[in-house]
Amino acid sequence: MRVIMNAIINKQYMKTLITSLLMFFAVSCGEQTKKDIIIKKKSTPLSDQEIKKQGYQIKKKDTFFIENGKLDIVRLEKIGSQSKSSDYKEGLYTRTINYYYGQKFKDGTFIEISGGNISGYRKLITSERSLFKTRYIYNSSGYLKSVGRSYKSNFSIGIRYYFNEDGTIANYEDYDKCYTFSWEDVTSFLKEKEIEKEEIIDVFRNDKDEECVWVIVFKPEEFNNKDKAIHLILEAETGTIISSKIIDTGRHI
């Protein structure tokens, strides 16, 4: 079983052990080799004061389309494209105009601003060099309401900050709280197991049922032209593989 467990996450053995791998799924994944257990040293958690200081620094760096401490709505309405829409507010649908403006920079960064005076506005920052995106939410007057980061498959990462109109932090939510095994550790895991970027179908978090786990779905070369993929679940604190199986992508993805 230990040999098979190592084989499932090392693609160089995939060709010779596909049959054994399928047989393995009928067996419990309770045992695991030391090689498969990556212990992450716990870092010292930030204090409430440090977390808020970090939040104010993030807000201070929000300068694109910002005028007098809030989103420059006048500029957006002047140079952005328009589209008619119906927004829901206070129990009624109201016809309104939404605006959109996007700008791409030489370093591969792309910033999009959209919204209207009923539902408020959104600024989305993405980059060709990053798998993450930063989303700023503003109210209908242009004041920052919240800011946070998320992965391309939309799981939140890091700390999301919520602001009052006067710019003070109302509260925050730490999405990394139970994930001692961090995103950086996940990328190291993928590199160690020789799981190529092109093979990855999805990486996401699942913290339902009070259990925090990482989920990795990838399609090794041996599964090309097949509706199959490997589905791994890693424990969120240590990176221990707690589940591994072959799935039918036609049904699960």
The string of pLDDT tens digits covering residues 100-132 is 999 999 999 999 999 999 999 999 999 998 989
Q: Does the structure show a pLDDT above 90 at 85? A: no
CB 140 within 8 A of CB 117: yes
**Nearest by Cα to 148 from 43, 51, 45:** 51
What span, in angstroms and rounded, lies between the C-alpha atoms of 197 and 220?
10
Where is 117: in which H helix or E strand? none
**Nearest by Cα to 32 from 238, 210, 202:** 238
Cα separation values, 93 from 35, 85, 96, 115, Å: 57, 10, 9, 16
68's CB contacts (< 8 A; 6+ apart) are none
Query: Higher confidence at residue 89 or residue 172?
Result: 172
User: Which pLDDT belongs to residue 152?
Assistant: 80
> At 134, which amino acid appears?
T
User: Which pLDDT belongs to residue 251?
Assistant: 66
User: Which pLDDT belongs to residue 90?
Assistant: 65
pLDDT band, residue 43 (cuts 50/70/90): low
200-206 vs 213-218, strand pairing mode: antiparallel
Residue 105 structure tokens = 């920079």
What span, in angstroms and rounded, lies between the C-alpha atoms of 150 and 134?
7
CB 128 within 8 A of CB 115: no
- Whole-structure pTM value: 0.78
User: Which pLDDT belongs to residue 91?
Assistant: 72
What span, in angstroms and rounded, lies between the C-alpha atoms of 146 and 124?
12
What span, in angstroms and rounded, lies between the C-alpha atoms of 176 and 154?
14
Segment 24-35 mean pLDDT? 39
Looking at every residue in the chain, the average pLDDT score rounds to 84
Residue 151 structure tokens = 């992965």
